[in-house]
Amino acid sequence: MERYKQYKYEDVGVYIKPEIDDSELHIQTKLNILTEELYDYGCEPITMLESNVKGDYTKLEELIEKIEWFRVSAVIIWSYSEIEEELRDKLRETCYKNGIEINAYKEDIQSLLFD
């Protein structure tokens, strides 16, 4: 998460798609993990918390629109695996096309543990 220090005073998109069986406490814990350090670094998290309804990606579409209009400087999501492949590709492509950094917290942690 330290890489987000460079986005001090800037908006950072935070996206979470809860799993169907996630409790409210688990969802809040995920949100806290993603936003606490951003606040510590002086970033302004723009939280996009999706419903846990399968196939509902309303908040992700809103985030992609914010990326297209350069309303966020970077994006962090909980996990790529929570997003359907087509939308995951659209998110990555939109970030790449607009020069917006994107990272997935869960995959970053796993790579640190297993590298």
Residues whose CB is less than 8 angstroms from the CB of residue 65 and which lie 6 or more positions away in sequence, other chains included: none
What is the C-alpha R_g of the chain? 13
**What is the CATH code for 2-114?**
3.40.50.1390
> Tens digits of per-residue pLDDT, 67-84?
999 999 999 999 998 899
User: What is the C-alpha separation between 9 and 43, in angstroms, rounded?
Assistant: 5
Higher pLDDT, 20 or 60: 60
Determine the pLDDT at residue 1. 82
**What are the extents of the domains in the chain?**
2-114
What is the rounded CA–CA span in Å between residue 29 and residue 64?
A: 24
Strands (E), 7-78: 11-16, 44-49, 74-77
pTM above 0.95, yes or no: no
